[in-house]
Structure 1
Amino acid sequence: MVLMVRGANGSGKSTFLRLIAGLLAPTEGYITLCYQGHPVPDRHRWLGWCATDGALYRELTAYEHLHWWATVRGLQWEPAARADILMTHLARFELADRAHERVRAYSTGMRQRLRLALATLGAPPLLLLDEPDAGLDAAGLRLIEQVIDEQRARGITLFATNRQDAECWGDLCLAMGA
């Protein structure tokens, strides 16, 4: 299922997603992530997060980012297969040719594709995308559509945008007011 969260700048879309991701604490109440009816013990293993302001380390390569994030997420592969898995994942986001280049040399669109690659690594059941289309060209937008379609088949996606033409990507739409 894909929930499209739409609204003008300042309407609370990003705050809503950050609350779900656990990046912000609610001022009242609480948020519990559940999977198949049970609370999720470690939300970082269960969700993928992609935002335009998502931190990337300029001195690391895309490959190093994915290697580090796989470790943080607790993803375990046979050591011999790990490099192939990470490179295949980078290729999906058109980053394999520059996988060992430092991120500081990447364009805005390449950095955003790397954020998408990090968010989708390990196929988390919940994918939170905060304006992931920012800075992407037409090929990058098609890539987002593919990611959303694949996630729709295996989990839940919450996608925040202020684009008027993006509504077709959602099964449900939540309109937020300013």
Structure 2
Amino acid sequence: MISQTLGLGYANLCVKWEGGATIKRTCTGIAVRMRSTSGTIFNVRLDDPRIVGNEGTTHLLDVEYVSHIRIDNLDGRNWTGAMLRLRGVIGAVIMNPICSLNEEAFTTTPAYGILGDEVSAGNYRVNVEIIDPVIEGPNFGVSFASAQNCKIIGGTLEGCGIGLDIGTKSPQERPRA
């Protein structure tokens, strides 16, 4: 259990949650934040993170200015903002993220499963792959304010108010069937 935001701001970092380990946020705000205080963080891997918030938790995993990140099997429960918020991220692979009211009922309906948010005007996500997401129940499944060369492969975005939302700020990028 954590009562403060857990900060991860290191390059060449690999963190593995083993044996069903869970980070449980006990107060308000962001549960886990990954960002640099100067420049960009490179080469990060998070394996099997399970993060549980509460009705006062805004975002479960907040990632800002990280390049070349891989997140496998992110499992999120109980938050109000986004399970995963990406800001200024380049070259990310997100494998098998799950937030599903079919797996476990939400105590609060979250706004987003995955949110790609701008840090500043024109600062968008580039080359983000989301593979086999199971995002069921948030207001928005995956939402990018702006994006370039991003893909969703397989998975399900169902029971959401809007499954996939690509913002108009995306440079010459439109969803393709």
TM-score, normalisation: structure 1: 0.29
**Larger helix share, 1 or 2:** 1
| Structure whose residues are more often strand by fraction | 2
Which protein has greater RCO, CA pairs closer than 8 Å, 6+ apart? Answer: 1
Q: Which has the larger radius of gyration?
A: 1
TM-score (norm 2): 0.29
